[in-house]
Amino acid sequence: MQTTGSPLRGLILVAAFRLAGCAPAVDTAASPDTDETDPRDTDTSMPADPSFDLRVRDLGFASTYLHHDDGAGWTSLPGDAMAQDGAWQRYTRDVDPEGPFGSTFTFNDGASTWYPGGSDNNYRASGRDVWVSDGLMYTHDVIADAPPADEFTVLTINLHTYQEAYADAALDHVVDVIAAVGADLVALQECAQSKDAVVVEDHLGVALKSDNMARRIAKRLQERHGLDYAFYWDWHHYGFDTYEEGLAVMAPATSTMRAYGSSWVSTSESVYDALGARKVVYATFDTPHGPVVLASAHLSWGTDQYAQIDRARAVLEGQITPDVRAAFVAGDFNADSRSGGYTHMTEDGQYTDTYVAANGGLTDNGFDDPTTDEGTRIDYVFAYNGTSEGAPAAITSQRVFFDLGGAGHGHASLQRVSDHRGVVVRFSTAR
């Protein structure tokens, strides 16, 4: 892994999943009620959201069990049986409609097969209406319903510059998840092209070569899913000696991209300084929710990190006009969640770590959930709180791209694409 980092901080989330590992079972006094009748269907006098309603599909289990901890300890193994509800397996139980709520959970077949599997990969939710499909979480029925009009999604992933054994296939997994979550904004780091590859186009003033990773992702989104995405890419140093390593921001082509560019945030501006030379790439996108600014950052560690954080913030804030609805800086900050760099990014309250905010109903809010092979959390989506309307509410957040393909699940969200995990955050403009 090329050492890089990013403490991105984001919005106030109302619902989120934490992918953390299969937790040991602890007996509880009683299992929750698993009556498949939804109380909202039989008692119209009940307040809105009186239950925790969880659905999952496509696990390949004859029977599905939910092993969970809602704050009072883990259920006895294998957990609570989930009831069939059309194409979904469903679990419902009453919760306090006024108080905070959080659940940590994982699925199994009643025997020895777990989903998603692996250690430190359980889901967590602090919302009350959750749908899990192909390893990804949603707030709606992805089979029957269109996404809510007031939601938009941000994804960030460090692509690891063609260093994975199956780097080309990894791009397909990234493409498939972008399409599945309907990503409105995408931030890419270690997004590279070979220095000796052939130049194929001048793209917004930057020479793109034949193996440019952002260009390939955009092309495959169209080929595999019929989706047109616009992007801006630039590079800041040679990585692994043979690549022009850079960053990109992407959005559906229907969101007009304007005011795009890149800016040095490091003291060093030498492309031969792989560990110190850093830029931020940014653009404003005219989305259906209004203008949104996204910056992709890949900062370095050490004595220059605080200054890079300050400059990255200044670059983002310099793009904000009175009509901007939201602004995010996302990526790899090379600053662990308990580091001074993370504190420097967040302590003045101007930026919100959206992954943590999404888990606000939980005792353990995901603060230390790792996003790297080394077990550190250094990849973030930070939301700027100083726009005219304030940051939109983040309603779900999860990590994706785990090395879990060998567990027998073909879902793209569980496949390894890098030495980093991606972070997906879903926001609502209505909250």
Q: What is the pLDDT of residue 195?
A: 97
**How many percent of the chain have pLDDT more than 90?**
69
**Residue 316 near residue 295 (C-beta atoms within 8 A):** yes
Nearest-CA neighbor of 344 among 390, 381, 313? Answer: 313
Q: Taking residues 118-146, what's their average pLDDT?
A: 87
Reply yes or no on domain 147-428 having CATH 3.90.470.20.
no
pTM: 0.87
Least confident of 35-49, 212-226, 261-275, 345-359: 35-49
The angle formed by the CA atoms of residues 9, 134 and 376, to the nearest 5 degrees, is 35
Q: Taking residues 195-209, what's their average pLDDT?
A: 98
Question: Which residues are CB-neighbours of 347 under 8 A, at least 6 positions away?
Answer: none
Domain boundaries, the chain: 39-116, 147-428
Question: Residue 328 and residue 392: Cα distance in Å, rounded?
Answer: 11
Least confident of 40-44, 212-216, 370-374: 40-44
**Residue 310: pLDDT above 90?**
yes
**Residue 1: pLDDT above 90?**
no
Q: What is the pLDDT of residue 14?
A: 30
Tokens of 51: 């239950």
Q: State the pLDDT confidence band at 248, using cuts at 50, 70 and 90.
A: very high
The SS3 call for residue 251 is strand
Question: Residue 17 and residue 68: Cα distance in Å, rounded?
Answer: 13
For residue range 337-356, list pLDDT tens digits in order: 999 999 999 999 999 999 98
**Residue 379: pLDDT above 80?**
yes
Select the more confidently predicted residue: 166 or 48.
Answer: 166
Q: Taking residues 274-300, what's their average pLDDT?
A: 97
**Residue 123 near residue 19 (C-beta atoms within 8 A):** yes
The mean predicted confidence, pLDDT, of the chain is: 86
Q: What is the DSSP string of 304-366?
A: THHHHHHHHHHHHHHT--TT--EEEEEEE-S--TTSHHHHHHHTTSSEEEHHHHHTTTSSS-S
For residue range 66-82, list pLDDT tens digits in order: 999 887 788 999 999 99
Q: What is 39-116's CATH number?
A: 2.60.40.10
DSSP state of 214: H
Q: Taking residues 370-395, what's their average pLDDT?
A: 92
Question: Residue 19 and residue 370: Cα distance in Å, rounded?
Answer: 9
Q: What is the pLDDT of residue 364?
A: 67
**Residue 397: pLDDT above 80?**
yes
Question: Residue 147 and residue 292: Cα distance in Å, rounded?
Answer: 19
How many C-beta neighbours within 10 Å does residue 87 have? 12
